[in-house]
Amino acid sequence: MNLIKLFETQRVLDDRIIKEKGLEGQDLLPMKILALQVELGELANEWRGFKFWSENQKSNTFYPCLDCGGGGHDFIKNCVSCDGTGKGGNPLLEEYVDCLHFILSIGLTIGSTNPRVEFPITGGRSKEFTTVRFNECLRFANLLLDDDYYDLLFQYFMDLGYMLGFTWGQIEQAYYAKNQINHERQATGY
């Protein structure tokens, strides 16, 4: 995962948001931390693995293509939007990269843009381990208000990406796709 390129891409978006919303000179760190915590909650909700009271603990990783309605075909030919797969997107991955946006943005705000992290390629992916990683991400996000726990937060968040079953390539691709949408939203007055 190319962290330098990710931070550079995030900086361009953050600078644009600050300029367009007239937020120059404001301390946005508490709001960014809250935004990250909200997105982590949304991510957990799409994961569903902590819902011990429910029969449905399967992650939401699919929603149908909006153009063909999930059928994969537009009359007789393959739908051009989904290439005939019927897949519109992956809610779990989309929430993960919203979190990644805020983690990168927080790093830029506090001047930490070179976190020392290892990208896990093996390890436990049980519901219990994954739940503890969520707990830790939420806890260390909060502690950032007082102390520099950024590298640790970044590491736990990378662990979570692996535990949720994503590849680093998938994460980068989804990040750049959402970054583009975020730019388009600013351009159209979101």
Ligand X SMILES: O=c1ccn([C@H]2C[C@H](O)[C@@H](COP(=O)(O)OP(=O)(O)OP(=O)(O)O)O2)c(=O)[nH]1
8 Å CB contact between 44 and 91: no
Residue 109 C-beta: closest distance to ligand X, Å:
9
Residue number of the CB closest to ligand X reads: 101
Beta carbon nearer to ligand X, 105 or 155: 105
Residue 173 C-beta: closest distance to ligand X, Å:
15
8 Å CB contact between 84 and 72: yes
Residue 90 C-beta: closest distance to ligand X, Å:
14
Interface contacts to ligand X, rule CB under 6 A: 13-14, 17, 98, 101-102, 105, 178, 182
Beta carbon nearer to ligand X, 98 or 136: 98
What residues are paired with 112 via a beta bridge?
Answer: none
Beta carbon nearer to ligand X, 1 or 28: 28
- Lookup: tokens for 13: 């978006």
Q: Provide CB contacts within 8 A for 106, sequence distance 6+.
A: 29, 32, 33, 36, 144, 150
Beta carbon nearer to ligand X, 68 or 95: 95
Distance in angstroms (rounded) separating the CA atoms of residues 145 and 81: 42
